[in-house]
Amino acid sequence: MTVWIWKICGLYNEKQPSPLYQVYRYTFIVALIVVYLFSLSLSMFMMPTFEQLMLYIMYIMFTETVMLLKALITYCKFDQLCNLYRLTRGADFKPIDAEEQELHRKGVADINYYFYLYILTAHLAVGSSLLYLLHKDYRMPYFPWMFGIEYGPTQRVNFGIIFGYQVFGMYFHMLITVAIDVQLCYLLGIIGVQLDLIGKRFRMMRTSEQFEESVVGLTNHHQKMQRMVREIEDLFSPAFFAQFSASGLVICATGFQASSMFNLSDLTAIQNVLYMLAMMFQMYLPCRFGNEMTRKSNALKTAIYSSAWYCMRLKQRKTLHMLLQRMNSPLTLKAYYFFNYNLQAYTTTLNIAYSVYALLQRNALKRT
């Protein structure tokens, strides 16, 4: 699915694309990314109040900046993404018995479960923009200005064209964001599955002969996981550093908008609620899979200790002791060494969002 998203959105950067696809790519990028973001940026100057301007910047501009970074990563680092994916499909990542197949099946099912929840939430958030059609004041769902073209009750055709352009543009921007988010979560999820398999193989060691036969391969496989983590960190750091930095403000802005306008006659408040839920889910996924990767990396020490080390010779026991020392530093993922991909970072972001939201609410109450 993500490969098809990349192809449709012009980000499938194969080495020798066909001339027809190149024409399609540039047409798509200019029409639905360059023009869209340009119109979005200029619309900031059409906001009637400073408060609306700040909410607009937090609500739209930050998320679009993150989307653009993710699109650039996909396009510029396409070969690196493909190599990582091929690595996860290699023979070294395959389960070797029924127990490992079950562990692998559960891990992949977990990735798919969160993917379908995410794609559903994202579609609901974008689809909720159609609620603006229920209003009689001809409001646009995302930005009020489009190169000075007039629209309204006397220019309904213009309104329909611009409205459709904004909805379709945001829909494809959502797909780009979802595709790169899913790739990150897939890679972290597969690393977690491999750590489960490594732990299971350590626990199954019962003799010195089994240890000598398996330890080199298991150690090399664990080192491969470490290299993958570092490569993923370098690849995704720019976009997810921006996302971690902006998400608290975006969630806060959408929550404040929803709470300030939520009533039975204003259905567009539902859009803000769904958009806020999509942003929270977008933040949760890398934190959740990053947290699981670190937890399973820590669990390897217990797996090694759970082997029958007491039945092995002194040489193997010393080697196991050195392995335990190496496992003292678990696998962790960071965005530019500032934000860890774990549940603590997620809750911290939500706390910041709530603090800013409470401040905005207090100021709003003072004015009223």
What's 89's DSSP letter? T
Predicted local distance difference test score (pLDDT) of residue 254: 72
Task: Write down the mean pLDDT value for the chain.
Answer: 86
More confident residue, 296 or 242: 296
Query: The tokens of 253 are what?
Result: 């802005």
Q: Could you tell me the pTM of the whole model? A: 0.89
Q: What is the pLDDT of residue 55?
A: 64
The predicted pLDDT at position 108 comes to 94
Q: Report CA torsion sign: 35, 37, 40, 42.
A: negative
pLDDT digits (tens, 9 = 90+) for 34-65: 999 999 888 877 777 766 676 677 667 788 88
- Quote the pLDDT of residue 20: 93
pLDDT at 257: 67
Least confident of 167-181, 209-223, 254-268: 254-268
Q: Report the pLDDT value the prediction gives residue 368, as an integer from 0 to 100.
A: 62
Give me the pLDDT at residue 111, please.
94
pLDDT > 60? residue 262? no
Looking at residue 175, its pLDDT comes to: 94
Label residue 264 by pLDDT band (50, 70, 90).
very low
Q: What is the DSSP string of 119-179?
A: HHHHHHHHHGGGGGGG-SS---SS-S-STT---BTTBHHHHHHHHHHHHHHHHHHHHHHHH
Residue 105 has pLDDT above 90, yes or no: yes
pLDDT at residue 259 greater than cutoff 80: no
Helix (H) or strand (E) holding 339: strand 339-340
Does residue 25 carry a pLDDT above 90? yes
**Mean of the pLDDT values across residues 131-155?**
86
Average pLDDT of span 119-143: 89
Separation between Cα atoms, residue 86 and residue 66, nearest integer Å? 26
Q: Identify the DSSP state of 264.
A: T
Identify the sign of the CA torsion 229, 235, 236, 237.
positive
- Does residue 91 carry a pLDDT above 50? yes
pLDDT confidence band for 135 (50 / 70 / 90): confident
Q: What is the mean pLDDT of residues 74-83?
A: 91
Q: How far apart are the first and last CA of the chain?
A: 49
% of residues, the chain, pLDDT over 70: 92
pLDDT at 263 over 60: no
Taking the C-alpha atoms of residue 99 and residue 223, their distance in angstroms, rounded to an integer, is: 23
Q: State the pLDDT at residue 364.
A: 65
